[in-house]
Structure 1
Amino acid sequence: MNSYRIPEIARKYIEHDMIMKHTELPSFPEYRTRVLYAFLNKHSALSGYSELYTLVTSLVQVGLDTHDLVSITNDSKEHKAARSRQLKVLAGDYYSSRFYYLLSHAGQIDLVGLLSGAICEANRLKMNLYLKMKQLKLTADEYMRQTIQIKAQLFLSFAALLEEGVSALWPEILNLFTRCELLVQEIGRAEISQQFKDSWGFWHVLQSCTKEEKKVLQQEEPDPAKLRSIWLKYKVTAQLYDMLDSCLKELQDKLQHLDAEKLGKELLSIGEPIRRYLNSPGATQGI
């Protein structure tokens, strides 16, 4: 199919009444999904499966991201919070199970194996990252690099299926789109004090802050005003905007030299919302 409608199709699997009522869900992996669909849709042999392959990959990613929202501890005695935690676990399993169901019914067993291997690798990478986080042995650059690697892992597995003309381009273009997507998310987290833990800003500040500032960062519920002051001192949000601007320029430069059956033009249009985001009033003020 030529029209992109993956989020619309995915919605009927994701927006389950009980899940939506009792717990929050992660963002849909829009950029990675659109880029994968664009590449598969240009494939001479796989274009007929571009919608199915992209759909199941997005559902698996939502499942993995939903599991990531489950708190590490289960100390909460409040019934609503406990139910939300349980539903995140069940929802993540449910979304992931849809990928097996859809592919098996379509007779695409080989892709089940391909994505299953990618899931295992993504989980392995997460465990390594969480261990470094727990030990506070992580730099801001390492956090960014490893998080991008985790987010891109499912989609990266399609490199083996792409045609020779574009397969070499896939990892770099996917990495750049994933980096842009992550930076937009990190900017949003930088503006919400409750989401500072284990963000890029947290690791960036931890590398340079004073002992007193480190105490604030390591508190379970730090004073929002103090945290905001630290974020401003170390220019967390402004640096994230600068990183996003550099990433977008690198991506646009890469795509302008790509002309594989108008694929470059299509990919540039996918990145257009990022450009508009950077030109928004909040971005230009660097807040």
Structure 2
Amino acid sequence: MKMFGMGGKVLSLFKELDLVCHQLCLELKHEYVQTVLPKPDIDRDKMTIYYMLFRMNEPQQAAGSYTKSVMVAEIGLNTHETMTCEKRTDKELLKQRQLTVLSGDFYSALYYYTLARQSNIELVKWVAQAIQNFNEYKCALFSPHVHFGWQELINEIKKIESALVGKIAHQLGFTHVVPYISDFFLL
């Protein structure tokens, strides 16, 4: 698949994805946070699927911007996932926990900022709904009042892992691929 990049150059899909990933890394860079926390992981598989979903409906530049925005939301959710809950007394560990929460919030704010520049209100709504679903699935999973069998547990984890990407695929008209995406991200 060939696409046109800046200056009319033809880019392969892999080069386009590398460009999107590079731009995403630059947007995620925060000097102080990086002194305390590791660089956030970028799930290249999710990034590729997002990009392909958006690219089917949008020009390259918009697809790249939307992909970066949604990936920032994913990274915000993943960053909050790494926060520990056990009682800590060591000041450095407490500082690290606080920065984990703040960096997750920073990524979430960056997501809204990035989409606001694109003026895509629909995408903001979709991601907000997906994040709400993600949070509800997580609450159900950890609720002391709910007991899952193995198959139910796997299905709940599958819903959590694919909440955002499944919602985007569905909203973009690719509902038929959502089960495959969900299974893929369960791995």
TM-score using structure 1 length: 0.55
1:52 to 38, 48, 65: 65
1:81 to 93, 97, 102: 93
The answer (yes or no) to whether the contact 1:31–1:177 under 8 Å persists in 2 is no
The answer (yes or no) to whether the contact 1:32–1:174 under 8 Å persists in 2 is no
Structure 2 spans left out of the alignment, 5+ residues: 6-12
Distance 2:149 2:171 in 1: 34
Range 86-95 or range 31-40, more displaced: 31-40
Give the corresponding residue for 2:17: 4
Q: Could you say what secondary structure the match of 1:169 adopts?
A: helix
2:36 to 11, 22, 38: 22
Matched, 1:170 2:177: yes
1:67 counterpart letter in structure 2: H
Distance 1:145 1:25 in 2: 30
Give the corresponding residue for 2:83: 70
1:122 to 118, 134, 137: 134
Q: Could you say what secondary structure the match of 2:17 adopts?
A: coil
Cα 1:173–1:114 shift into 2, 3 Å: same
2:175 counterpart letter in structure 1: A
Distance 1:156 1:117 in 2: 11
Distance 2:185 2:93 in 1: 31
- Cα drift, residue 136 of structure 1: 8.7
- Cα drift, residue 67 of structure 1: 0.7
- Cα drift, residue 109 of structure 1: 1.8
User: How many aligned residue pairs are there?
Assistant: 172
TM-score using structure 2 length: 0.81
Structure 1 spans left out of the alignment, 5+ residues: 181-287
Give the corresponding residue for 2:117: 105
2:50 to 32, 36, 45: 36
Q: Could you say what secondary structure the match of 2:76 adopts?
A: helix
Give the corresponding residue for 2:9: none
Give the corresponding residue for 1:95: 107
The answer (yes or no) to whether the contact 1:13–1:95 under 8 Å persists in 2 is no
The answer (yes or no) to whether the contact 2:127–2:164 under 8 Å persists in 1 is yes
* Percent identity for Structure 1 against Structure 2: 20
Deviations 1:72-99 (A, max 9, x none): 23x2110110011000100000001111
Q: Give 1 or 2 for the bigger CA radius of gyration.
A: 1
- Cα drift, residue 137 of structure 1: 3.2
1:61 counterpart letter in structure 2: E
Give the corresponding residue for 1:154: 164
